[in-house]
Amino acid sequence: RKILTAQTALAMAAAFAHLLELQAKMKLRGSEYLTVQQIYRGWSLLGIVIYAALAATLALAVTVRSQRRALRLVIVAILCMVAAQMVFWAFTFPVNQETANWTVLPAHWQQLRIRWEFSHAAGAVLQFSALAALVASVLVRETR
């Protein structure tokens, strides 16, 4: 359970970084934004952590299936993690493709930036909700 929570916390922390920097990044000019976006090179490797956390959470659901309160919370965590992935693949990834991972600045880059930044913000909220649900599921289990 500790490893699962740590994996989920790591995934949430990366997502939360996007949320915390959103306000400042929305003020950047195009060339500045392209420069700043290069700090994310290699972040795709975090996908391993995200999918490992999801797999471990699914395994946890099987483990706690006889404990209704804990299972409900684990299912909430799973749904939040899946929703965060849906947001990423539906909104963030297409922008990454269109901008060649922010190495190209299309004419409508400001709309793409809004889509990219706010989809990451939504993902951060969903990842945080998943972590909160997992922590609650552990607390429910330990009080029995």
Mean pLDDT, consecutive 10-residue segments, the chain of 144 residues? 68 83 95 94 83 92 94 97 97 97 96 97 94 91 54
Residue 123 has what pLDDT? Answer: 95
Determine the Cα–Cα distance for residues 33 and 102; give it in Å rounded to an integer. Answer: 8
Determine the Cα–Cα distance for residues 34 and 20; give it in Å rounded to an integer. Answer: 18
